[in-house]
C-alpha cells in the first residue's frame, strides 16, 4: 500500500500539467509563478491594426491554420508511468481540495467497457474504502486522483483489472484491457470503529473478509492477506458502546475465520512462520478448531517437524474422524516420517561402519575364548582327580 501512496504523491505533483497541455501553452495561473499586474493606464485600449484591412476574416483563418493543434494524447495522465494505467478528465470536478484520501469511504457511478467498446457492466452507487483493496486496482489508484463531481475515463491493462482469470461478475474475459467511465459522487471519512454499533462492526469485518476470499480465489494471495488483516483490525478494535455476549461471540467467530483464511494465504506464499502464528492465534481462541489444527499440522510438516505435525493432525482427526482430507494428509505424513527414519538409520549405520557385523564378530571371539577356558578347566579337574585317586590307591596298598 505504501507503493500506492508513493504513486499518488508523484501523480499529484504532475497534476497541474494537464490543463496546460490541453491548450498547448503554459498558463501563469497554472504554473504557480508570480506575475505582475499592469495598471489600467498601461493597457492600450485600441487593438493593433490589421495588416490587410480588407481581408481580416481570411487572415484570421490563416493564423488559425498556423496554430499547433492540440495532441489528444496530452490529455491523458499516465498514473504509474508505465503506460498501463491512464486517466483522462471528461468533466472537471470541484478542485484539488475536494479529492478523497486513502481510507475515505467513496461512492461512484461506474461503467465498464471492453476494448472493442462493448458495455460489460453498468453499476451505479458503488461504495468502497479507498486503499483497502475492495475494488480492482485501477479504481483504487485513479479515484484518489479525482475531484468531487468529476467524470473521468480510465484505461487499464488487465494487470490492474481482472488479470489472467477474468471475471464472471462483471463478465470480463481473461487478460482483457478495459475502459472505465467513473463519476465521483461522494467521499466521507471512515467511521470511528470504537463508536460503531456492534452489528455494523460485524458486517464491516465480514465484508472485508469476503473481499479477501475473492482475492484468494483469484490467486491474489498478497491482496487476500491485506484484506484479512483489515478485517482483523476491525474485530480487535475496542468498543465504547455496549456489546452483548452473543455479539462478542459472533465477532470472535469472524476473527477466527479471518485467521484461518490468512494462514491459508500465507501457506500459498510460503510464509510458514507467519502461517504458524496465525494458526496459533486461532487455536488460542478456539482450541478445538479443526481447520486451524489441520493447517498447523501442514505448516509443521513443511518445516520438518514431523512428530509435532502428526500429533496435531491426530488431534484434528479425533475431533472429526470422518474427515477424508485429514485422513489422507496424516497417512501421507506418517509414511513420509517412516521413510525418513529408515533413511536416517541407514545413514547412521554407514557412518559407524556396519556396527552389527562387528558386534557379531566380537561375540564369536568371546564365545571361542569361553569354550577354550571351559575345556582347560575340565581337563585340569580330570588330571587332579586322577592324581588324587592314585594317591588313595597307593595308601591302601
Nearest-angstrom CA–CA distance, 75 and 312: 60
State the Cα–Cα distance between residues 144 and 102, nearest whole angstrom. Answer: 7
pLDDT at residue number 337? 78
Is residue 5 predicted with pLDDT exceeding 80? Answer: no
Q: What is the pLDDT of residue 175?
A: 96
Checking if the pLDDT of 16 tops 70, the result is: no
CB atoms within 10 A of CB 177: 16
- Residue 210 has what DSSP assignment? H
Q: 1-35+53-190 and 194-349 share one CATH topology?
A: no
Give pLDDT tens digits for 305-341: 999 999 999 999 999 999 999 999 999 999 887 877 6
**How far is the C-alpha of 393 from the C-alpha of 367, rounded, in Å?**
39
Check: CB of residue 166 under 8 Å from CB of residue 139.
Answer: no
pLDDT of residue 309: 95
pLDDT tens by residue, 135-151: 999 999 999 999 999 99
Scan for cell 469476503, then name that residue.
210
Q: Which one of 63-67, 182-186, 350-354 scores highest in mean pLDDT?
A: 182-186
- Cβ atoms of 152 and 109 within 8 Å: the answer is no
CA dist., res. 17 & res. 188, Å (int): 27
Portion of the chain with pLDDT greater than 90, in percent: 64
Res 339: pLDDT: 73
pLDDT tens digits along 284-300 = 999 999 999 999 999 99
Q: What is the pLDDT of residue 378?
A: 59
DSSP 93: -
**Residues 220-255 pLDDT 10s:** 999 999 999 999 999 999 999 999 999 999 999 999
Mean pLDDT of the chain: 79
Q: How much is the average pLDDT of 57-81?
A: 58
Instruction: Work out the pLDDT band at 39, boundaries 50, 70, 90.
Output: very low
φ, ψ of residue 124 in degrees (nearest 5):
-85, 155
> For 110, phi and psi rounded to 5 degrees?
-135, 135
Name the pLDDT band for 15 (thresholds 50, 70, 90): very low
Torsions phi, psi of 262, nearest 5? -65, -40
From CA 377, how far away is CA 383, in angstroms rounded?
A: 10
Contact at 8 Å (CB) between 293 and 319? yes
Q: What is the CATH number of domain 1-35+53-190?
A: 3.10.50.40
Instruction: Examine the pLDDT at 105 and tell me if it is beyond 60.
Output: yes
Lowest mean pLDDT: which of 25-39, 157-171, 343-357? 25-39
For the chain, what are the domain ranges?
Answer: 1-35+53-190, 194-349
Give domain 194-349's CATH superfamily: Tetratricopeptide repeat domain (1.25.40.10)
Rounded to whole angstroms, how far apart are CA atoms 144 and 288?
44
The single residue listed with the C-alpha cell 479477501 is 212
Residues 211-234: b if buried by 16+ CB within 10 A, e if exposed:
bbeebbebebbebbbbbbebbbeb
Name the region of 102 (left: φ>0; alpha: ψ -120 to 50; beta: rest).
beta
Separation between Cα atoms, residue 96 and residue 109, nearest integer Å:
20
**If pLDDT is split at 50, 70 and 90, which confidence band does 55 have?**
very low
* For residues 83-101, average pLDDT: 95
User: How confident is the model at residue 49, as a pLDDT?
Assistant: 43
Amino acid at each position: 500500500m505504501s507503493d500506492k501512496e508513493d504513486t499518488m504523491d508523484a501523480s499529484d505533483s504532475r497534476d497541474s500539467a494537464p490543463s496546460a497541455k490541453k491548450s498547448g501553452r503554459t498558463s501563469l495561473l497554472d504554473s504557480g509563478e508570480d506575475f505582475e499586474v499592469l495598471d489600467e493606464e498601461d493597457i492600450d485600449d485600441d487593438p493593433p491594426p490589421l495588416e490587410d484591412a480588407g481581408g481580416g476574416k481570411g487572415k484570421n483563418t490563416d493564423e488559425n491554420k498556423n496554430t499547433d493543434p492540440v495532441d489528444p494524447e496530452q490529455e491523458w495522465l499516465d498514473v504509474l508511468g508505465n503506460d498501463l494505467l491512464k486517466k483522462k478528465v471528461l468533466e472537471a470536478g470541484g478542485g484539488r481540495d475536494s479529492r478523497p484520501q486513502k481510507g475515505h469511504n467513496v461512492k461512484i457511478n461506474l461503467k465498464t467497457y471492453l476494448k472493442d467498446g462493448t458495455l460489460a457492466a453498468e453499476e451505479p452507487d458503488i461504495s468502497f474504502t479507498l486503499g483497502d483493496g475492495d475494488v480492482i486496482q485501477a479504481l483504487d489508484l485513479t479515484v484518489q486522483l479525482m475531484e468531487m463531481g468529476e467524470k473521468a475515463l480510465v484505461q487499464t491493462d488487465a494487470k490492474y483489472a481482472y488479470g489472467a482469470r477474468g471475471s464472471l461478475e462483471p463478465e470480463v474475459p481473461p487478460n482483457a484491457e478495459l475502459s472505465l467511465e467513473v463519476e465521483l459522487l461522494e467521499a466521507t471519512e471512515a467511521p470511528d470503529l470504537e463508536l460503531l454499533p456492534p452489528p455494523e462492526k460485524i458486517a464491516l469485518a465480514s465484508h472485508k473478509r469476503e473481499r479477501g476470499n475473492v482475492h484468494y480465489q483469484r490467486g491474489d494471495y498478497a491482496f487476500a492477506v491485506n484484506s484479512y488483516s483489515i478485517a482483523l483490525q476491525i474485530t480487535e478494535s475496542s468498543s465504547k458502546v455496549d456489546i452483548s455476549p452473543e455479539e462478542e461471540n459472533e465477532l470472535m467467530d469472524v476473527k477466527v475465520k479471518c485467521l484461518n483464511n490468512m494462514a491459508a494465504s500465507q501457506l500459498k506464499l510460503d510464509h510458514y512462520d507467519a502461517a504458524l502464528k496465525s494458526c496459533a492465534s486461532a487455536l488460542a481462541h478456539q482450541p478445538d478448531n479443526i481447520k486451524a489444527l489441520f493447517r498447523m499440522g501442514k505448516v509443521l510438516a513443511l518445516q520438518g517437524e514431523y512428530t509435532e505435525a502428526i500429533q496435531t493432525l491426530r488431534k484434528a482427526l479425533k475431533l472429526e474422524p470422518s474427515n477424508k482430507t485429514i485422513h489422507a494428509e496424516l497417512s501421507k505424513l506418517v509414511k513420509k516420517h517412516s521413510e525418513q527414519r529408515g533413511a536416517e538409520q541407514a545413514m547412521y549405520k554407514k557412518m559407524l561402519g556396519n556396527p552389527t557385523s562387528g558386534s557379531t564378530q566380537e561375540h564369536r571371539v568371546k564365545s571361542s575364548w569361553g569354550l577354550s577356558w571351559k575345556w582347560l578347566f575340565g581337563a585340569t579337574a580330570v588330571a587332579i582327580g586322577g592324581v588324587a585317586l592314585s594317591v588313595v590307591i597307593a595308601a591302601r596298598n
